[in-house]
Structure 1
């Protein structure tokens, strides 16, 4: 008896609820989307496939004039500008909360879909409050 092998669906690097929240510029919807879905994060170095604890090295932008650090997050990997490193990670709400808790003092601002179609920004403190709500 030969069984059909189920094809695995490819992993989608997007959060539709986050895209919708950005389109309407609704902070409450943005908070909900961040608490209940993944976020696409640009990676300087992708994680090791054989080590689930290795989520890679997150890429951040440091303004050469001011030294300010920005974290760029995306609702969809398709919205990441080609000028950024090619790797992306799909990170959970828990990961985002832990990352902001660890690096929130260094990060000046967080940009969502910085190149569009519906860019938005928030402070790390506002996002921590949204994730903790």
Structure 2
């Protein structure tokens, strides 16, 4: 039996095709453009409250057990998120990412995009902020 979509409910697409294409070229300017014009998939420790648009959830970050360095992992598509990460994801805008990096950029040492592939990329928070501000 074929599954049916509920009428009236829009299915969220947890991906940014432009970001996936930009990661393929490894071009920071293209990545920044894609981030400014589409959502970013962010793993969440705790999803946001559905009835409170101000609650975007609690972002999951990776802390290296040996060095203590913190990395922010972002994804172009929820299917690229490794299964070992929290199961919840959020879709966040460029404005959210800019504000998050502005608030936590001193603690975060690196930002990884699609860390498990197919086209992983790494950037320093300051470089990403500069690219988003350009």
State the TM-score, normalized to the length of structure 2: 0.93
1:118 matches 2:119: yes
CA distance in 1 between partners of 2:106 and 2:19 (Å): 24
1:55 matches 2:56: yes
State the TM-score, normalized to the length of structure 1: 0.94
Question: Any gaps of 5 or more consecutive residues in structure 1?
Answer: none
CA distance in 2 between partners of 1:123 and 1:106 (Å): 11
For residue 14 of structure 1, what is the aligned residue in structure 2?
A: 15
Aligned length: 129
For residue 78 of structure 1, what is the aligned residue in structure 2?
A: 79
What CA RMSD, in Å, does the superposition of the two structures yield over aligned residues? Answer: 1.2
- Larger of the two Rg values belongs to structure: 1
Instruction: Tell me by how many angstroms 1:31 deviates.
Output: 1.1
Question: Any gaps of 5 or more consecutive residues in structure 2?
Answer: 1-5
For residue 106 of structure 2, what is the aligned residue in structure 1?
A: 105
